[in-house]
């Protein structure tokens, strides 16, 4: 099995890479952000825990979690952030583990691995996990790809995409493990400081090369 963990910093180009892997190589993309949102769906035990802790007015009028408000609370209180992560990360990890188990059983039956990736041993999947290092999920993947970007560019793209001021963009970037550190822990570094095309060429090279095997 080939399990590619795609990570990086906020605004570094992770989504661009995942979308390309899905479209060009028809790989399944398992997205930690989607699972994290599902973890707190209306009626979920985790949402109930959150409301017990912070009050039932932390939901919108439709009953959904008011994510921006929760974000404000935990952004300023590291202790609360740790508490919240302790609720959500195990759920996300579980979802990945279930997917991996399912994929392994398909692989062991053999014939289902088709398409452009059929030449690799067994099936391949992509785990898109912004907090792969922070949430200690590196053991779930067989190779780590870090989408890297030089810091001034990261600030610039984040400001543009999310309409943030420079200060807001810098605060969000500083809340994560630095890209330099992530880069030093990668099996594959995809440098996205240049054009999107240059990034995707690096993806093609990384896919063709099976890391560590
Ligand atoms: P992430 O998923 O890591 O937060 P995205 O893939 O959403 O990052 O990219 C962040 C923003 O930068 C998006 O608006 C995207 O379209 C843009 N972008 C990505 N790569 C490039 C590039 N090489 N040149 C210019 N803009 C880019």
SS3 of the chain: helix, strand, coil, percent, to 5: 55, 15, 30
**Mean per-residue pLDDT for 134-156?**
95
**Domains plus CATH for the chain?**
2-208 (3.40.50.300)
Whether the per-residue pLDDT at 189 is higher than 70: the answer is: yes
**Mean per-residue pLDDT for 133-159?**
95
Residue 18 CB–ligand 1 contact under 6 Å: no
| pLDDT band per the 50, 70, 90 thresholds, residue 172 | confident
Asked whether 13 and 198 are in contact (CB, 8 A), the reply is no
CA of 209 from ligand 1 middle (Å) equals 24
CA distance 1 to 120: 8
Whether the per-residue pLDDT at 109 is higher than 80: the answer is: no
CA distance 140 to 136: 9
Dihedral angle of Cα 16, 140, 33, 82, to the nearest 10 degrees: -130
Testing ligand 1's pocket by substitution, the residue of 10, 16, 161, 192 carrying the most ligand atoms inside 8 A of its CB is 16
Q: What is the pTM of this model?
A: 0.90
């Amino acid at each position: 099995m080939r399990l590619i963990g795609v990570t990086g910093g906020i605004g570094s180009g992770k989504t661009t890479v995942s979308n390309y892997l899905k479209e060009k190589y028809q790989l399944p993309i398992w997205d930690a952000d989607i699972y994290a949102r599902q973890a707190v769906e209306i009626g979920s035990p985790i949402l109930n825990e959150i409301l017990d802790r912070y009050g039932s007015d932390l939901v919108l009028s439709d009953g959904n979690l008011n994510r921006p408000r929760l974000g404000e609370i935990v952004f300023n209180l590291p202790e609360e952030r740790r508490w919240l992560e302790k609720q959500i990360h195990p759920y996300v990890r579980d979802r990945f583990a279930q997917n991996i188990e399912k994929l392994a059983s398909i692989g062991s039956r053999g014939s289902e691995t088709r398409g452009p990736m059929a030449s690799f041993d067994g099936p391949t999947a992509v785990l898109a996990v912004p907090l792969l290092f922070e949430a200690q999920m590196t053991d779930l993947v067989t190779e780590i790809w870090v989408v890297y970007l030089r810091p001034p560019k990261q600030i610039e793209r984040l400001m543009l995409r999310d309409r943030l001021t420079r200060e807001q963009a810098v605060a969000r970037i500083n809340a994560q493990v630095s890209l330099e550190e992530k880069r030093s822990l990668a099996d594959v570094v995809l440098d996205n400081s240049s054009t999107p095309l240059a990034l995707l060429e690096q993806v093609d090279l990384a896919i063709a090369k099976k890391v560590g095997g």
